[in-house]
Structures are given as structure tokens and as C-alpha cells.
Structure 1
Amino acid sequence: MELQIKHVPYNSPDYWQMVALRRAILRAPLGLDFTPEQLAVEGEDYHIGAWVGEDLIGCLVLEPLANDILKMRQVAVRPEWQGQGVGTALVRYAETFALQLGYRKLVLHARETAVSFYLRLGYTVEGEPFEEVTIPHRLMYKWLT
């Protein structure tokens, strides 16, 4: 498997592929979809995608929160590629990308089912569980070095 990970411009064909993947994996199973308003504000975000050949198999979004803090969100990997290092590669790429842009901290709202994944990557849980998009989440963070 030759995995290619790259930053994708907002509103490009690759961006819309990523929106479709995020919708299928993260939203549709919960009976949710994106609103035009939610997608319209993503122009300020960084969009990272993972491909094998021509196939988009994973993606994530980095949203600037402050001068040195990014929120990682909408991390999605096609089910048939989960457990094969794609998510880890995406997160590691995002961390390096963030550092290169001068960010020092990543924060995220992890689904309860993904907390152990982020713990293995060096993230820390903060606070109590909370509900977001109808399911339990945890606030997590990592200082980048």
C-alpha cells in the first residue's frame, strides 16, 4: 500500500471528495448531514486527505482556534482501511503540518470509541464526557514538540 497524504485546498474537487467521505462515515450513520453554513466556514480550515492511488481513504480537518492552537476534527477513515495505520499516519501528518505553520497545541473532541486511539498517539483526556452530535465525546489535547 502506497499511502499519499496531502493538504487539500478548500472547495477543490478533492475537498468535495473529503466532504462526501466525512458525510458517509461520520454523519449519515447518525442521521445527520452538513448544512451549507457549516461547509461555508471551512474555507479558513486546513483539509488533509489520505489516498491510495486515486482512492480517498481518509481525511481530517484542522480548524484554527487561536494563534498557536488548532482543533482537529472530522477524522474519518474508510471502514475497510481502519486498523491499518491510516488514521495514525493522518494524525502524525497533521501534527507535523501544524508545527510547520507555528501551531503548538492540538485539541479535539474524541468520540468515546476513539479515545484509546488518541491516547496511544500521546493525547491527554481533559474534563468529563459530554454529548456532541448525539453521542458521548471527550475533550483531548496534545502539546506539539
Structure 2
Amino acid sequence: MFTLVELTVEDVLPIRQRVLWPQKPMSFSEVKGDASARHYGVMKQESLICVGSFYQEGTTVRLRKFATLPAYQGQGAGRFMLESIMPLLRQSGATHFWCDARESAKAFYQKFGLTPEGDRFYKSDIPYYKMVTRLS
């Protein structure tokens, strides 16, 4: 049903902007470190429906700009990506995984063993939590 593909930052930017920050310009969805990050997408048939970018520093990997097109949310694309990526991260030597999760997605990340670390914080008036897990 789904296929995981490796992408370029140019491939992921349109979905990032459309899903996460539709009221902002495309440049708002760019992240420092995009050039060295690994970018992945989930394809359903011939359509790119979900994107995520992974930034590794030593044995720690951070997920940023994880987004699924609204028409496909709740159908398992995000779950498929994380289930596919977690073993790859372990194989790469990563031992820690984290992300800043929108409060509305906190329960989703908890299903993958991530737990909140610290207090709720805000980005552009949207509440977030830092979510972390060990990969080993």
C-alpha cells in the first residue's frame, strides 16, 4: 500500500509548507541543516503523501518537519514512515531519537515510545512538546 522513498529537500518543501505552515511563505519551512539531513517520503501509488526530515548529530537523530497531506492523514502513512525509519536509524548507530511534537500529535509519538521531556512550549502560537526515546 505504501512505499518509503529517499528524497531531496526540494521534494519535501511543498508538502512541509502546505501542511505545517500554509499561511507562511515556502522559505519559512526551510530548516538550517536541510542540506545534510536525510529526507524521506511515503508514496501511495504514484503520489507523495507524507514527508519527514532526519538530522543526525553523532548518535542522536532529530525528526523535523514531519507532515502528511490532509486527505491522507489517519490512514497510516506516518506510522509506516516511523516503523520503516526506526530500524534504519538503529543500523546507522543512532541511540537517541527526538522531535518537537505539536501537542495535537503527542499521543501519536507516544505510540512509538517517545515521551515528553520538559514543559510545553510554543512556536508561532502552536503548543509543542519535546518528545524523546532511546533507540537501543
TM-score between both structures, scaled by the size of structure 2: 0.90
Amino acid at match of 1:23: Q
Structure-2 change in CA distance of 1:39 and 1:125 (3 Å): closer
Displacement of 1:131: 0.7
| Structure 2 residue aligned with 1:141 | 132
Q: How many residues align?
A: 136
| Structure 1 residue aligned with 2:73 | 82
More helix by share: 1
Select which of 6, 11, 17 maps to 1:17.
Answer: 11
Is residue 47 of structure 2 the alignment partner of residue 48 of structure 1?
no
> 1:101-140 to 2 correspondence within 5 Å?
101-140=92-131
| Structure 1 residue aligned with 2:21 | 27
Displacement of 1:33: 2.8
| Structure 2 residue aligned with 1:95 | 86
Runs of 4+ in structure 1 over 3 Å off: 36-41
Structure-2 change in CA distance of 1:38 and 1:22 (3 Å): closer
2:19 match: secondary structure: helix
1:4–1:50: 8 Å Cα contact kept in structure 2? Answer: yes
Aligned-pair identity in percent equals 24
Amino acid at match of 1:85: G
2:102–2:127: 8 Å Cα contact kept in structure 1? Answer: yes
Amino acid at match of 1:5: L
What is the CA–CA distance in structure 2 between the aligned matches of 1:20 and 1:47, rounded to whole Å?
13
1:50–1:56: 8 Å Cα contact kept in structure 2? Answer: yes
Q: Give the unaligned 5+ runs of structure 2.
A: none
2:17–2:29: 8 Å Cα contact kept in structure 1? Answer: no
Displacement of 1:71: 0.7
Q: What's the C-alpha RMSD, in Å, of the aligned pairs? A: 1.9
Amino acid at match of 1:25: V
Deviations 1:94-126, CA, capped at 9 Å, x for gaps: 212211211111110000000011111211111
What is the CA–CA distance in structure 2 between the aligned matches of 1:37 and 1:24, rounded to whole Å?
9
What is the CA–CA distance in structure 1 between the aligned matches of 2:111 and 2:48, rounded to whole Å?
24
